[in-house]
Structure 1
């Protein structure tokens, strides 16, 4: 069995500015970092064996923040891998431009696959789907081969510690990898198409693939455990005064927490002395 948990990145500066981010390297906001930490809380008991992100900073930072809350990672750290195929759709001319007008049409069009972006590097949804299919095929082939090797060597540790892969990517790519998962010939007998859904930042999907087979025509049994899960976002409030929408800086956060601890210590000392009165009051 193999488990794949897929998470969309936290809110980015491009999200706040309502831009077509695509391949633009847009960092998280402070609120996006909070979302990622909450996703980490929701996933803190999971034992991830691999972590794969796109090579863009908003997914890498999200993965790091998720792992910062993970109990297993604190004792058994694992390396993060960046994969260019996990990038968001490239929007060509619209890259890093306002999405106010195009996005309204894109999300309400009866067939999003008819939307064609233009300009250098522009991708269609079919292009993104092909990237997703290529990545998924390589991923499953790797673990299929690993299982075969371990079986031949009578090494059953692979079966005892089932692989659990954390993938952090982007909204459109996630929709397309789910689409690829549904129509991949080794997974389902009947071809289906995933219906595109807009995703909240840090939406979580968890999929269990229960069997591997040597014959490609034999389908795999797939079970969706979490489907667009966002319970971890309930009650989360954006910091006021523009702080929540500012660029997330992990170094700044460490400095802030240092001064916060100093302030809390001062408050505790004041509260301990409260009610004792000023020694000069007796005069």
Structure 2
């Protein structure tokens, strides 16, 4: 990313001018001619020289590091959105947001309950199934029929042949590649943390196919893709999956919709009700 020095300088100046000494715990002395904080005050709060900060506001000097930007974001009392904007203007990727783990925000649970006309799942960025509605359970119930620590769509795909049997055979190769490429991206975003390393190790142990695909180092985030399922009672079901972002960086909302004119299959699925397809 290329720094946008004039915009960065303008944003720093305006952010500084919006603050008062009282906002940051400083005493507001007499003869203060400029609005907001002085450059020297911001520099002191951020732990840098006044000359360095002045050069940033004058669109001069080197590209600031992420450590400098973090210090400035704190000194200027920036919100998360403002902090991310600061990083982008300085030519850096914004820091990753907060993770929710297995916790589902009340608003997300409410949305899951209200979207009862289509199959919906909440999954982690690593593929852990966190929640799903009844229609999704009717389609993918086998994932929930196992122990909680095994409810991972990547692990089940490579470790359990029964899971694959519910997908059209011509989709197997592409499904495998997409799952591994998406997991690669998630692992990189996490910096190879313990959870991602453990999952990769389990998948490697379960499947030589996974190991071969992982070693190809393909990366592709899954945002939308088709699903071609084989239901034991309804036969072939074609669905499109849209992957939506949530406020947590490690959770995704997956919504499965039928092609135009094929919505009747969801009514048939609703009649059958929740069931464990792999039992």
Q: TM above 0.5, one fold?
A: no
- TM-score tier by shorter-chain length is under 0.3
**Relative to total residues, which structure has the larger helix share, 1 or 2?**
2
Greater RCO, CA 8 A, separation 6+: 1
Tell me the TM-score normalised to structure 2 length: 0.24
